Amino acid sequence: MASVTLDLSTATPAPRAPANLSGLTRVELQAELVASGLTPPEKARMRASQLWRWIHHFGVTDFAAMTDVAKELRAGLAERFTLARPEVVERQISQDGSRKWLIRTAPGIEIETVYIPDVGRAGALCVSSQVGCTLNCTFCHTGTQPLVRNLTAAEIIAQVQVARDDLGEWPSPKEDRRLSNVVFMGMGEPLYNLENVAAAIDIIADGEGIAISRRRITVSTSGVVPEIPRAGELTQAMLAISLHATNDELRNTLVPLNKRYPIAELLDAIRAYPGLSNARRVTFEYVMLKGVNDSPEEARRLVQLMKGLPAKINLIPFNPWPGSPYECSDWATIERFASILNRGGYASPIRTPRGRDILAACGQLKSESEKLRASVRRAQAPAA
Ligand code: SAH
Ligand code: SF4
């Protein structure tokens, strides 16, 4: 066998992209400062706190703006690190005030993020946790896109930063915020990317930075039962469950993950979720599909299922997308469904459709890059 010798003497290492500090947790930030040699270990905590305020309270993207940091240190930081935002490829504003951004963090990684005013305390940001999704809920547009990959904590934080840049919310306002809530209801299944979602929530909830409390952060899952307890421990966020059906047979078709984790197991996991109380209720999401899951009988069954749980129900009018196989229930049907739930003792606000004109509503997110790639594939496919 011929032996191969590598002459490494002339090999130049590939230039390493500078690390972005704005996606690191406090602990990671301290470690990075020490590893860079810019900060001695005994000063790491203090230095990290100082930078933290600039990055997450003031939202600066340039080390030069950190006026209480020594000039030489600022220069050293700028040499090794960056605070740059990713590229915003597209920005759309709906007639109703919703906003949608398409953010490109790397080649082929395009993330959709939506701001919806008048939801939660003031306005909610709907963030993505993955590009695409491994699950295939039949009513969801994202579900038609294969998983590209999990987003990093930095990519999740970048969505909040881009929204805040655009809404003009730096430094973190104490009152009268426009962006008051964060919901993990964009693209992807957050419980399949729990470590990064939890790290991002640690950053978002930090009181000296973005400062959105965990009670205003909601993680929505299609029902990844084995991860629900850990999600509670790691995030202490509010829990939302995409239920959509009251019996296993129908849920198996709408949310195929139900075949692995049926409704009874899901309800047991919810009961064990830490911190549930009347003040911290679990939200059940229920998408209204005409003639599929919207009968009065199903509303009554839903009330039965939730007995004993501190819960509220969010009725979501189905948001159609090009080629979707369902229709939205009639308004009168949705109202009748809601009134049965109300009589059963459960608050059940109907989520008013927002941002439909820019395809920004729940379940409509699917990255443009994927649509583009699909259309190129179609154009290249040999004619049948
Ligand atoms: N993967 C997670 C979070 C993202 S989906 C989950 O499934 O919970 C966020 C919410 O939008 C879920 O409740 C989902 O069921 C709902 N949804 C998906 N497609 C929809 C559509 N076309 N119309 C209305 N709601 C939809
Ligand atoms: Fe994935 Fe949620 Fe869409 Fe289901 S509803 S395909 S879990 S993003």
The response to whether residue 258 sits with its C-beta less than 6 Å from ligand 2 reads no
Q: Hey, what are 60's tokens?
A: 């600066």
Q: Which residue has the tokens 């790639």?
A: 373
d(C-alpha 241, C-alpha 339), whole Å: 21
The response to whether residue 316 sits with its C-beta less than 6 Å from ligand 2 reads no
The response to whether residue 193 sits with its C-beta less than 6 Å from ligand 1 reads no
Final residue belonging to a domain, choices 27, 52, 82: 82
What pLDDT sits at residue 142?
85
Q: How far is the CA of 258 from the centre of ligand 2 (A)?
A: 12
The response to whether residue 139 sits with its C-beta less than 6 Å from ligand 1 reads yes
- CA 177-180-186 angle, 5° bins: 135
Tell me, yes or no, whether 76 and 116 share the same domain: no
Tell me, yes or no, whether 337 and 355 share the same domain: yes
What pLDDT sits at residue 312?
92
CA 143 to ligand 2: nearest atom: 6
Tell me, yes or no, whether 34 and 146 share the same domain: no
d(C-alpha 110, C-alpha 101), whole Å: 10
Does any domain span residue 384? no
**Predicted confidence (pLDDT) per residue in 269-305, tens digit:** 999 998 899 889 999 999 999 999 999 999 999 999 9
Mutate to test the pocket of ligand 2, among 134, 135, 150, 183 (most ligand atoms within 8 A of CB): 135
Tell me, yes or no, whether 30 and 144 share the same domain: no
CATH at residue 69: 1.10.150.530
d(C-alpha 116, C-alpha 340), whole Å: 28
Does any domain span residue 377? no
Least distant ligand from the CA of 133: 2
Tell me, yes or no, whether 119 and 267 share the same domain: yes
d(C-alpha 346, C-alpha 327), whole Å: 25
Tell me, yes or no, whether 157 and 306 share the same domain: yes
CA 134 to ligand 2: nearest atom: 1
Tell me, yes or no, whether 279 and 362 share the same domain: yes
Q: Name the pTM for this structure.
A: 0.90
Nearest to 115 by CA among 132, 103, 131: 103
Does any domain span residue 195? yes
Tell me, yes or no, whether 44 and 100 share the same domain: no
Does any domain span residue 378? no
d(C-alpha 117, C-alpha 76), whole Å: 40
Q: Which residue has the tokens 């959709």?
A: 112
Does any domain span residue 11? no
Tell me, yes or no, whether 24 and 138 share the same domain: no
CATH at residue 126: 3.20.20.70
**Domain with 133 in it:** 87-372
**Predicted confidence (pLDDT) per residue in 85-98, tens digit:** 999 999 999 888 89
The response to whether residue 20 sits with its C-beta less than 6 Å from ligand 2 reads no
Tell me, yes or no, whether 321 and 340 share the same domain: yes
The answer to whether the beta carbons of residues 325 and 368 sit under 8 Å apart is: no
Does any domain span residue 10? no
Bridge-based pairing of strands 217-221 and 181-184 is parallel
Between 146 and 49, the more confident residue is 49
Number of domains in the chain: 2
